[in-house]
A and B are shown apart, each in its own frame.
Chain A
Amino acid sequence: MLLIAAKVIRKTIPVFSFVFLVLITVVIIQGLFKPENETALFQIGPVVMYKEGLLYALMITLRVTNIVSSFMILVLTTKPSDLVETLVRKGMSPRIGYVIVSVFQIIPEMISSMGTIMDAQRARGMETEGNLFVRTKAFLPLLGPVILGSLINTKERAMALEVRGFNSSAPKTYLNEEKTYNHSRVIQSVMLLLVVCAVTWRIFV
């Protein structure tokens, strides 16, 4: 429901189709083979579906769907940079924040440099196409230049950050305004209350 409200339901379709594929096998296996299976529900030829297994599988399905949905909402509606910026405002170290956000951007850059390095070796006659063995053999020696290259880049980037006052002791300011909505306090409190209730219920009941 929330997924629909956030207009990201379409992007979740591929993820859900994969998840459901896995879940269907869970349903079948649990329905057929769960050790506590007693009550036969229905029978297709020699195959018997049992009630206990099916209920258990249903529970797993609900849980997984729940977890996946909430995770998708977080990922699809929140830019990582916004999330981290908010955390930094709430007191997380800006250094850790930087590391988290930059990883998202630096990884694509590393992948492209990997491509160049691969090309450079192919240019000198290294066989990189073919069966798995050939490819693995070609891949391992390439890690050296990739790692070295990113180390060199890291040193240069560290210097570039330093000269832009990364370690300044001045209180940090932000380009983006903190977005506060009238209802956000209320929502936050209600959410907190719900979590507390749920936890208490799990522990005591």
Chain B
Amino acid sequence: MNKIIVQGLKYKYPLSDMLALDDISFQVNEGEFIGIIGKNSSGKSTLCQALVGLVPHFYKGAYGGKVLVAGLEVKNHSLADISLKVGMVFQNPFTQVTGSKMTVYEEIAFGLENIGVPRKEMIDRIDDVLTLLKIEHVKDHNPFDLSGGQMQRMAIASIIAMKPDILVLDEPTSQLDPAGSEEVFNAIQSLSKQGITVILAEHKMEKVAQYCDRVLLLNDGRVVDVATPEIIFSRDDLETYGVLAPVYTRVCRALGVKKDGSDCYPVTLEAAERVLRKGVPLV
């Protein structure tokens, strides 16, 4: 079943004369994990925001085409309606803290209070997401006292508690240290395994290669390709779009070692190790 359908989406920010998104079309199945990659200002963030309705409802601007998320047409529904189906996590962990709650526990409740979840269910849901994102030990802390990684997991928890079908993340780890990013990626992966559809815009190609089922390559607001990480990262023209393949792919490409029975280079550490062990005699 298609969870997300985007058809001929065009969008221009107010005050700008360039199309930020130009004729974007793709579909995402339920439970898929999709990576969005591309150089800076290629339209990654804008596309993410189009999936939750911030484009066009928050920014206004010129909008054409159709975006369907979990059966809702974004253009015709309010942000509040869409927020029940699609949740979004942003880059900066600080600006996602509401600032009106004193504890992590209350912070997670914020969205649930807004959409009118009964108190008993609210408590159940919060307890669940605290465990799921491994932040139950900080539930009584002030949100601003958390580390970056904890704060970002709290942001994800706040969204997940609202039980969306789709989770959109816009470079959620760009401001975190390696340990913090790892915590967040593990959390996202476990959500994906539970069947949530995940859309992730990301710069770290090694992570995209490791976690995503399919990758959408954007350039100047247009879709270049949507395919498996192996196919995308094996493209000869990748660097012309301002994207560097994972280091494992680059090494195998330089050595001319492809994956068995395919026309693609390996994209992860494990896969590269496997083919290199077989292919070339060790030093």
Contact of B99 among A157, A168, A174 (CB under 8 A): A157
Chain A residues whose C-beta falls within 8 Å of the C-beta of B96 in the assembled complex: 156-157, 160
**Is residue A200 within 8 Å, beta carbon to beta carbon, of the partner chain?**
no
Give B82-107 interface residues, CB cut-off 8 Å to A. Answer: 83-84, 86-88, 90, 92, 94-96, 98-102, 105-106
Interface pair B90/A160, CB less than 8 Å apart:
yes
For chain A, the count of residues having a C-beta within 8 Å of the partner chain is 34
Contact of A101 among B80, B100, B112 (CB under 8 A): B100
> Given that A98-B100, A173-B112 are contacting pairs, would A168 and B123 also be in contact in the complex, using a CB cutoff of 8 Å?
no
Interface pair B100/A167, CB less than 8 Å apart:
no
> Given that A175-B119, A175-B122 are contacting pairs, would A164 and B102 also be in contact in the complex, using a CB cutoff of 8 Å?
no
For chain B, the count of residues having a C-beta within 8 Å of the partner chain is 44
Interface Cβ pair total, 8 Å cutoff: 111
Q: Which residue of A lies closest to B82 (CB)?
A: A163
Chain B residues whose C-beta falls within 8 Å of the C-beta of A20 in the assembled complex: none
**Is residue B144 within 8 Å, beta carbon to beta carbon, of the partner chain?**
yes
Chain B residues whose C-beta falls within 8 Å of the C-beta of A161 in the assembled complex: 98
Cα-based distance from A105 to B86 in the complex (angstroms): 28
Q: Give the shortest distance, in Å, between B18 (CB) and chain A (any CB).
A: 20
> Given that A81-B102, A102-B98, A163-B159 are contacting pairs, would A168 and B144 also be in contact in the complex, using a CB cutoff of 8 Å?
no
Chain A residues whose C-beta falls within 8 Å of the C-beta of B94 in the assembled complex: 109, 153
Cα-based distance from A164 to B163 in the complex (angstroms): 11
Q: Which residue of A lies closest to B118 (CB)?
A: A173
Q: Which residue of B lies closest to A81 (CB)?
A: B102
> Given that A81-B101, A157-B95 are contacting pairs, would A167 and B158 also be in contact in the complex, using a CB cutoff of 8 Å?
no
Q: Give the shortest distance, in Å, between B25 (CB) and chain A (any CB).
A: 24
Closest 7 CB pairs of A and B: A164-B111, A170-B116, A168-B80, A156-B95, A175-B109, A102-B99, A165-B114
A residues apposed to B, CB below 8 Å: 79, 81, 94, 97-98, 101-102, 105-106, 108-109, 153, 156-177
